[in-house]
Amino acid sequence: MNAPLRRVAISVLVLFTLLILNVNYIQVVRSDELREDPGNTRVLTEEYDRERGSIVVDGTEIALSVPTQDQLTYLRQYPQGPLYAAVTGYYSLIYSNTQMERAANDVLAGSDARLFARRLADLFTGRDPAGGDVVLTLDPAVQQAAMAGLEGVTGAVVALDPSSGAVLGMASTPTYDPGQLSSHDPAAIRAYADELGAMDADPRLNRAISDNYPPGSVFKVIVSAAALSSGDYTPDTVIPAPDLLTLPGTSTTLENFGGSSCSSSQEQSLIDALTISCNTAFAQLGIDLGEDRVREMAEAFGMTGDGLEIPMEVAGSSVGDIESEAALGQSSIGQRDVRMTPLQAAMVAAAVANDGTLMTPYLIDQVRAPDLTVIDQADPEEFSEPVTPEVAGQLTEMMESVVANGSGRAARIPGVSVAGKTGTAQVAEGVPDHNWFVGFAPADDPQIAVAVFVANGGGTGGDVSAPIAGDVMQAYLEGQGG
């Protein structure tokens, strides 16, 4: 009789031990993971009992919580929802949160360590707990111009302050209404989500940072930087520019856009090659420079394959694999496995504009306590120095020529010097090309750097993306009194 009782006792002891271990594992080891799980609506529901902080742009709340008369105490609203949807994301009872609502959730929900004193005071005073505000770096005029330019197309615009890295604009189309995903009606939320998911291009994807694309001729800025930094080239150095280039080790020929000829002499200066975006010249230039120089320069500009946090997560940009000189030639014109996010493209322009110093992009200017006290202020940080001021000056001269005399004429601004580069990237047989433009203005005193991406625009970067970039830069400069 004692033996069976002993076995039962041991079994119960083992079960209790396993239960205690499991509870400790869940509450200690996996607590953060479970709390931050987007599918954990329990935490989200508890947060509805406190007033969530606001997301603010230029003194205006673009996301805020208002009291309700229903079971959930507060409702999240987005007064200019579609205009800022790519940045705010949504705060949903069903689908958790995305974009800034997710990246700054600890501040907005009031659980951030910087708000500890406020929480402690709430405990002793009986005051209702509330979240803090995040004040963004966005400029309303830039955002409006970007969204207006992208109307009717699938694409993205990113604008940066070259001197600080502050994000002045971040637009992605098609857009959507985050308020419909943040209502208190589960059936309506799911219906709207299904509607968005059935679209050809899902509006919930922030194309400015969450995906990367072949940049086409925009990458020629990086190849130009590698050439100028080598000390063997200047803007006036004459390089080969054949009508057709047979890629090394293959019978494959590479031609210029539309089969055009870059030069009757089959050679031209580096500045002229960039001005008219000569494919054969840059493919050969990349081959002559070698993979190491091209890759090292791309990585110096941020194309390491690693993502960023601004604080929203940014997809990585990279040159990709280059297994031969033929592949290097194709990569040197921004094709093959080369991929950029629009943010990365804007970073390239911003680095050139800032005398060769690339600043780390950021979206949050201030964090404020519920009483509007500033508890954190952005402190711009240097990301890298891809080129010297001298090389940056040479690149600026070449990019000014693109806008003044070449493929980027549509980005001109009356009375303002503009530097830029167009890009047209092939996608697949029978699929319309992607269109790009990167640039900055004024070229002699840069205040804004911009990248415009239009997916499958079907034209060229010069006629599709450059006009949008010009409008965005002009809107900002006019707002600054320029």
Q: How many CB atoms lie within 10 A of CB 215?
A: 33
Q: Are 344 and 218 in contact, with CB atoms under 8 Å apart?
A: no
Q: Which residues pair with 431 in a beta bridge?
A: 428
Q: Are 255 and 243 in contact (CB under 8 A)?
A: yes
**What's the one-letter identity of residue 36?**
E
DSSP H helices, 354-450, are 389-405
Q: Tell me, rounded to whole angstroms, the distance of Cα 457 from its chain centroid.
A: 19
Compute how many other C-beta atoms are within 10 angstroms of the C-beta atom of residue 116: 10
Contact of 169 with 146, CB cutoff 8 Å? yes
Concatenate the DSSP letters of all residues of 53-97 into one string: PPEEETTEEEEEEEE-SSSSSEEEE-TTHHHHHHHH--EETTTEE
In single-letter form, the type of residue at position 478 comes to E
d(CA 68, CA 182): 13
Label residue 375 exposed, middle or buried (CB < 10 Å: 0-12, 13-18, 19+). Answer: middle
Find out whether 435 and 424 touch, Cβ atoms under 8 Å.
yes
Q: What does the alpha-carbon distance between residue 133 and residue 373 come to, in Å, rounded to a whole number?
A: 10
Is 217 catalytic? The answer is: yes
* Catalytic entry in 217, 224, 331, 401: 217
DSSP secondary structure code for residue 365 in this structure? E
Residue type, 387: V
Place of tokens 């940045």: 87
DSSP string, 237-261: -EEE--SEEEPTTSS-EEE-GGG--
CA distance 130 to 136: 19
Token readout for 452 is 């415009």
Phi-psi region of 302 (alpha: psi -120 to 50; beta: other; left: phi over 0): left
Give every CB contact of residue 36 below 8 A, 6+ residues apart in sequence.
Answer: none
Torsion of CA 385, 387, 393, 398, to 10 degrees: -130
Residues recognised as catalytic: 217
